Structure 1
Amino acid sequence: MFQQLSFKIRFQPYMLFVLLICGSFFSSTAHAQRIATQVDVRILASGLQHPWGMAFLPDGKILVTERVGRLRIVAPDGRISAPVKNVPAVYSEKQGGLLDVALDPNYDSNQLIYISYAEPATASGGTLASTAVARAKLVDNNLTNVKVIFRQDPKTHGGQHFGSRLAFAPDGNLFITLGDRGSHMEEAQNPSNHIGTIIRIRPDGTTPDDNPFVKDSKAKPEIWSYGHRSVQGAAIHPETGELWIHEHGPRGGDEINIPKPGKNYGWPEANYGVHYSMIPIKDEHAEQGFEEPIYYWTPSVAPSGMLFYTGGLFPGWRGNLFIGTLAGQHLIRLTISNDKVLSEERLLQNTVRLRDVEQGPEGAIYLLTDEEAGKILKMTPAAQ
């Protein structure tokens, strides 16, 4: 039996430290696991203002978004570029701003990248905003041929719940995760708009012919699934090719789902938490005709970022699912089998808000910290 450790980490640039990580957590849907793993965690880069998403370029550099509206290129040695030019204007309020970034599956030949962001619009009564996705060609430190390929409809007031993760499926189509925009949660049950939905489009912004609502005049054809709250994690399963997501609950009820075409995931009619006002929510999903989550957390951990690990540096973790947490301030490792979560381990406990988690080309695990002076952390096995 490994002793549960508690520790405080004082981050200093380029400091190397070794952590003995022990998981100790009881979930409502899987048994706890206590495993000790020694890792090195190094600060690769610091001074990023609330970084939100990252993507690895073929040469090992990292594209990183800053929520305030800047896109950076971080070199393998941690050097941070000047802001990339010609990034679209963003609505940088509360949870809004420049959010995720992804490379085109054919990036080597076309140099196209995709960015999601809160897009502003001027209106009487104040600024409106909604999630938008733009495609552009990355040339040196510039974006060229910038084209908006998707806009969430409608634009609304408020700075909450933009969703915004991007994930390319094996068939080349792009999944975009959206939120309910906070004060418009009831609209997540209305597929005639994009509130609280998962979107599936082609890379040029057109709608695939086999989308579930493409022939329904009362629904948006881009919608893949609906009834979601705020989806800030998305990843493609490396074996099945299916999209997996996680989404924030209110007071509890953070969920993992595998969105199926045309299905309704229940928000705000069903959830395993309660509203912030303490008004209860029915937790019966299937009984109301909704899809049950495959896993959930109560109390909330506030998940953000999602990775299926496929690298070679941590062979014992291959096939595991990693999720960063904000309120939880730790990294979650889930062992899975088919569509079931078998166990959970909490790593880097009580450290810092983790906004994104990605796998590097060498198999290291990279983490973004959600701070005013945010960091990129690089996790590798400890030297024996």
Structure 2
Amino acid sequence: MSARTIGVGLISVGWMGRLHTRSYKSIPERFPELGVRPRLVIAADAVAEAAQQAVDQLGYERCTTDYRDVLSDPDVDVVSICAPNFLHKEFALAAAEAGKPFWIEKPMGRNVAESVEIARAASDAGLVTAVGFNYRNAPAVSHARELIERGALGMITNVRTSFLADYSSDPQGALTWRFERERAGSGVLGDLLSHGFDLATFLVGEIDEVSATTGTYITERAKPTSANASHFSKSAGGEMKTVENEDVALVIAKFASGAIGTFESSRIAIGPRAEYVIEVYGTEGSLRWDFQRMNELQVSLRSGENYGYTDVYMSPGHGDFARFQPGGGTSMGFDDLKAIEAALFVESVVTGEQKAPSVHDGLAAARAADAAERSAESREWVALPR
């Protein structure tokens, strides 16, 4: 039986745009049962050189500097939106108006109002969607969810989520759009803890209310002197500007289930490189997952011989591990999580059934981040809308 061709359109040819492209390409090999063969139709980037690289290096049939060419192309069935935060709303609303299912990176909007608009537009258009919550695709997280759902941990009492990174720990790092409220929205609440809120919700359930505090500790940075600068770049002596969003956040949460939780995040931590951790504790056991040891899950159950942690190494039988490696001990990587994400998105499009994290999951994370921001400002508990 011949494979169904899905025409792919890409908006923004940066690191994430390239990763989306590789992820689409992996589908016929990793997920052959979908019977889908992605066709790289057209890529858009405002920088002409980057757009041309999509053709020369990535294999797209053509390129453009106008994203509207992607959305109006009749050969495009799905769209990836990999642009900076301040362009998400414009591109997502245009994709919804064009009737194109889209896969968008997080945070979905710069704030909760934009996220509401995006979610409403996609719903009104009847579109399946995907939001880039890739960490929930780790086989260890899938195994954690299975343990929780079958009651192995008993009643969940508390959750600890910690997203600590060092990508902005150098005071000489460039002040890119990520540090400007008008273009990024919040700081670590949207950039990192959106993942944390999503993971906790994925494993434990809805968050009811939060109390938060935030801080900005590197208060000025130099503007970049290169148009290609990222938040990993050195400033190279540009004009000093004020950092407008938070470097560090700490959130206490109450879940609808009755569990309580803490969420902490920093983009200026020295030591952790990408220490993204979630711990779930229950009356019968607990578990711990750290992205830096992505292929392991620490589990402790009261029914075991002792109360210490056992390292469970991922292997075929855990989530989608077998699609990537033949046996335990050989590791999956970050790109593999995005490949799973691409397959879930395409499966959603092909079947019409929402399999991937949707714009509604993106909105849930945005509401948690917004509530945390409002709590930090008011110094009061803030309830999340249902």
Please indicate, yes or no, whether the TM-score normalized by the shorter chain is above 0.5: no
TM-score (norm 2): 0.31
- Point out the structure with the larger strand share: 1
- Structure whose alpha-carbon radius of gyration is higher: 2
TM-score (norm 1): 0.31
Q: Tell which has more relative contact order, 1 or 2 (C-alpha 8 A, sep 6+).
A: 2
- Point out the structure with the larger helix share: 2
